C-alpha cells in the first residue's frame, strides 16, 4: 500500500468529517474531499493544499462516480445516512473500492446489511458500516470480550459520557430516525429489532473505578444493536446511556461541541463498559478516551488502513468485529483510546 493511497471523504466539511480528513493526512494518505457544497469544500481544502476537491450530490450518480475515480476507498461521513448511505455505497461498488461509514442511525445501519450485502459479496468488496464510536467501538469490545466465541446469552454496553453536546449532523440524523420510527423507541430483544412505546426507564450501572455507580437511561438504544448481532449469536443486546448525557443530547438548547485543544477536541470524556454473559459467566471489556466525535477518526482510519493492507477477515458487508481482529484493532487505537480486555 502506497503512503499516498487516495481516500475519498464524503461529507468532509462536517464536524466528524474534518477529524477524519486530518487523521488520514496524519497517517500519510492522499485525501479527496467530496460532498454537495463545492464552496465549503474549497474553503476546507484551502487549509490543506494537498487535498483534492471533487463535489458531488448524492442524487447525481455520475458525479459520485467522478468523485471516486482512481481512489482506493471511500469514507462516508455525511448524515443523514438514511439519505447518503445507499447512493455512496452503490458508487463504491461500481468503482470496486471499499466503503466505510460513521453512521450511528440504527435504521440506516440495518439497511446497509439488508440492501447491499449481496452486491458487496458479489463484487468481493469490503463494506464496513458504523465504523465509529457508536456501533464500531462497542462491537469491537464485545467481540474481544468473547475471545473467539461466536455466541452469548446477552450483551450490555453502557456509555458514561461526561456531557453530550450534539453536532448539527447528530440532530438531523436523530430527526430522521424519529420520523422513520413514528416517535417509537427501539430495542434488540429475542433476536430481533423491536419497536415499542414503553416509558423511558432509569437505573443504576456500576462502572469500574473511578466512575463507580452512575444513573443511566436503560435501553438508550444505539447502533451496537445492529452491529453486534450481525455476526454474533445473541438474543438480547442492550445499550445504556448516562442520564446527564441523555438529557443534554435531547435538549433543544444544548450548544454544539467547542474545541479545547489544538486537535479540535471538546472536553467531553467517555467510558464504555461492555458486559457479555456466556453460559452464565460474565466477561467484561472497557474503553475510555476524549470526544466521541474526534475519536471516530482514528477508529475509521485504522479500519481503512487494515482494509487496504489486507488485514481483514471477510469481505462484503461486515461490522468492525466481523471484519477485523478485535483485540489487536483496539490496542492499535492507543493513545486515542485506552482499553482493558479480559486476559
- Distance (Å) of CA 139 to CA 4, 83, 170, 249, 266: 30, 24, 20, 22, 24
User: What is the model's pLDDT at position 2?
Assistant: 43
Over range 3-27, report the average pLDDT. Answer: 94
Band of pLDDT at residue 174, cut at 50, 70 and 90 = confident
Band of pLDDT at residue 12, cut at 50, 70 and 90 = very high
Percentage above 70 pLDDT, the chain: 99
User: What is the model's pLDDT at position 104?
Assistant: 95
pLDDT: which is higher, 179 or 314: 314
Measured over the CA atoms of residue 220, residue 131, residue 109 and residue 86, the dihedral's sign is positive
pLDDT digits (tens, 9 = 90+) for 189-220: 999 999 999 999 999 999 999 999 999 999 99
What radius of gyration do the chain's Cα atoms show? 19
Is the distance from CB of 185 to CB of 107 less than 8 angstroms? no
**Which CATH architecture group holds 6-132+297-323?**
3-Layer(aba) Sandwich (3.40)
Is the distance from CB of 45 to CB of 13 less than 8 angstroms? no
Q: Cell 471523504 belongs to which residue? A: 9
Q: Hey, where are the domains in the chain?
A: 6-132+297-323, 139-291+326-340
Is the distance from CB of 164 to CB of 268 less than 8 angstroms? yes
Hey, what's the cell of 52? Answer: 483534492
- Domain 139-291+326-340 indexed as CATH 3.30.70: no
Over range 164-179, report the average pLDDT. Answer: 90
**Residue 17: which residues within 8 A CB-CB, separation 6 or more?**
9, 11, 33, 35, 77, 78
Band of pLDDT at residue 16, cut at 50, 70 and 90 = very high
pTM of the model: 0.96
Amino acid at each position: 500500500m502506497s503512503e499516498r493511497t487516495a481516500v475519498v471523504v464524503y461529507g468532509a466539511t462536517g464536524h466528524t468529517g474534518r477529524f477524519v480528513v486530518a487523521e488520514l493526512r496524519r497517517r500519510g494518505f492522499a485525501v479527496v474531499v467530496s460532498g454537495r457544497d463545492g464552496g465549503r469544500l474549497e474553503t476546507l481544502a484551502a487549509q490543506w493544499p494537498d487535498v483534492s476537491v471533487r463535489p458531488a450530490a448524492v442524487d447525481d450518480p455520475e458525479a459520485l462516480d467522478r468523485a471516486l475515480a482512481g481512489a482506493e476507498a471511500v469514507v462516508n461521513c455525511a448524515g443523514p445516512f438514511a439519505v447518503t448511505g445507499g447512493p455512496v455505497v452503490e458508487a463504491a461498488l461500481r468503482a470496486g473500492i471499499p466503503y466505510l461509514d460513521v453512521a450511528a442511525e440504527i435504521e440506516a445501519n440495518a439497511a446497509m446489511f439488508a440492501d447491499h450485502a449481496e452486491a458487496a459479496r458479489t463484487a468481493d468488496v469490503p463494506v464496513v458500516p458504523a465504523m465509529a464510536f457508536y456501533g464500531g467501538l462497542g462491537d469491537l469490545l464485545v467481540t474481544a470480550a468473547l475471545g473467539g466465541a461466536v455466541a452469548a446469552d446477552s450483551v450490555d454496553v453502557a456509555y458514561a459520557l461526561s456531557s453530550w453536546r450534539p453536532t448539527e449532523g447528530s440532530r438531523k440524523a436523530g430527526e430522521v430516525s424519529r420520523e422513520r420510527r413514528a416517535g417509537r423507541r427501539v430495542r434488540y430483544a429475542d433476536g430481533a429489532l423491536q419497536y415499542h412505546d414503553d416509558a423511558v426507564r432509569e437505573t443504576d450501572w456500576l462502572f469500574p473505578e473511578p466512575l463507580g455507580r452512575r444513573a443511566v437511561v436503560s435501553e438508550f438504544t444505539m447502533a451496537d444493536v445492529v452491529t453486534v448481532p450481525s455476526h454474533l449469536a445473541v438474543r438480547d443486546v442492550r445499550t445504556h446511556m448516562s442520564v446527564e448525557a441523555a438529557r443534554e443530547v435531547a435538549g433543544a438548547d444544548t450548544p454544539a461541541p467547542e474545541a479545547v485543544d489544538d486537535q479540535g477536541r471538546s472536553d467531553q470524556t467517555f467510558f464504555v463498559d461492555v458486559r457479555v454473559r456466556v453460559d452464565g459467566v460474565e466477561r467484561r471489556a472497557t474503553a475510555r478516551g476524549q470526544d466521541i466525535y474526534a475519536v471516530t477518526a482514528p477508529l475509521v482510519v485504522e479500519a481503512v488502513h487494515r482494509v487496504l493492507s489486507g488485514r481483514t477477515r471477510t469481505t462484503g458487508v461486515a461490522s468492525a468485529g466481523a471484519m477485523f481482529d478485535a483485540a489487536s484493532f483496539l490496542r492499535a487505537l492507543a493513545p486515542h483510546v485506552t482499553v482493558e480486555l479480559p486476559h
